[in-house]
Amino acid sequence: MAETKELQVKEKQEISTPAEHTKPGLIFTPAVDIYENDNEIILLADMPGVVTDDISIDLKDGVLTLTGDVKPWENDDESDVLIEFEIGKYYRQFTLSEAIHQEKIEANFTDGVLKLTLPKVAKAVPRKITVSNG
Amino acid sequence: MITRRMFNFPAPRAFRHPFFEIDALQKEMDRWANLINSKRSFGGLNAGVFPSLNITEDKDNYYIRAELPGIKSEEIDIQLNGRSLTISGERKTELSEENLKYHRRERDSGKFSRGVMLPGDIDVENVNANMVNGMLTVKVGKAELAKPKRISVN
């Protein structure tokens, strides 16, 4: 396949959470890629417009929660000409089935993409015990 | 005494003027339209071309913004031709590693090109583009003629 396909517009997916948030505003689910290799699970999430400090990642009881706050980037004196997308918070939760090394989780945010590396806990290696004569 | 009813008029319930019928239909359609709009957070105008753009203006500039996560600033090509602005580039979600197992693939990759016509004349010398955290902002200065003028009354 020599030719790359054209990107299509995907409407941002708005969600409603069971509990209402104290701060009003829209909440979107970020698009994610999740893949794993033998040692780790890697998660990539698109969160454009978020500042690194406003991202929070929480792993509790096997539930991974990603949130990203977006500050309005328009100046007050700007008036709309054409509005095709809206901005808002990003929020998404995942249940992890595998045990994760909590202390070794790495997170990196570049160009609006969050990369999370979740190292798997090494499975107990079966140990062979040899009995020696003596 | 014989009373004669012409065309069954006035019948207490059955008769409805055709225009009232249309009115009722209109109301019903409005109700459906509202229902659909309320479900979508943003039932607005969308050109259907990637990327979606937001254009705003203040008295000196136009601001064109787009969400382009995962694209480096040097990979975006922005061209101005008269009033038309074109943003193009390619998004790669590269993976060099082997032995991977995918669970989810929601992030698309591919080429894109989006053109938009700005509503007023622009000052080509006064344009700058900025990429911060996956959000592209192109600031285009308005031409002197297109700026609003205050006229004082003597």
* Fold of the CATH domain B53-92+109-146: Immunoglobulin-like (2.60.40)
Rounded to whole angstroms, how far apart are CA atoms A46 and A49? 10
Distance from chain centroid for Cα B38:
17
pLDDT digits (tens, 9 = 90+) for A19-67: 667 777 788 899 999 988 888 889 999 999 899 899 999 888 888 999 9
- What are the CA-CA distances from residue A111 to residues A83, B39, B43, B51, B145 (Å)? 22, 31, 28, 16, 37
A117 within 8 A of B97, measured Cβ to Cβ: no
Q: How many CB atoms lie within 10 A of CB A43?
A: 24
* Inter-chain residue contact A112 with B68, CB threshold 8 Å: yes
Name chain B contacts of A4, Cβ cutoff 8 Å: 90, 109-111
Q: Is the dihedral of CA B100, B105, B107, B112 positive or negative?
A: positive
B 1-40: CB under 8 A from A: none
A93 within 8 A of A102, measured Cβ to Cβ: no
Q: Give the DSSP H or E segment for B29.
A: helix B18-39
Q: How many CB atoms lie within 10 A of CB B122?
A: 21
- What are the CA-CA distances from residue B62 to residues A36, A95, B105, B140, B141 (Å)? 44, 44, 35, 5, 6
pLDDT surpasses 90 at A81: no
Q: Which domains does chain A have, with CATH numbers?
A: 25-73+83-119 (2.60.40.790)
Give pLDDT, residue B77: 92
Burial of B92 (0-12, 13-18, 19+ CB in 10 A): middle
pLDDT surpasses 60 at B68: yes
pLDDT digits (tens, 9 = 90+) for B101-152: 888 888 888 889 999 998 888 888 899 999 988 999 999 999 888 787 888 8
Rounded to whole angstroms, how far apart are CA atoms B41 and A26? 8
The C-alpha of B137 sits at a distance from chain A's nearest C-alpha, in angstroms, of: 10
**pLDDT over 70, % of chain B:** 75
The C-alpha of A26 sits at a distance from chain B's nearest C-alpha, in angstroms, of: 8
Q: How many CB atoms lie within 10 A of CB A128?
A: 5
| pTM of model > 0.80 | no
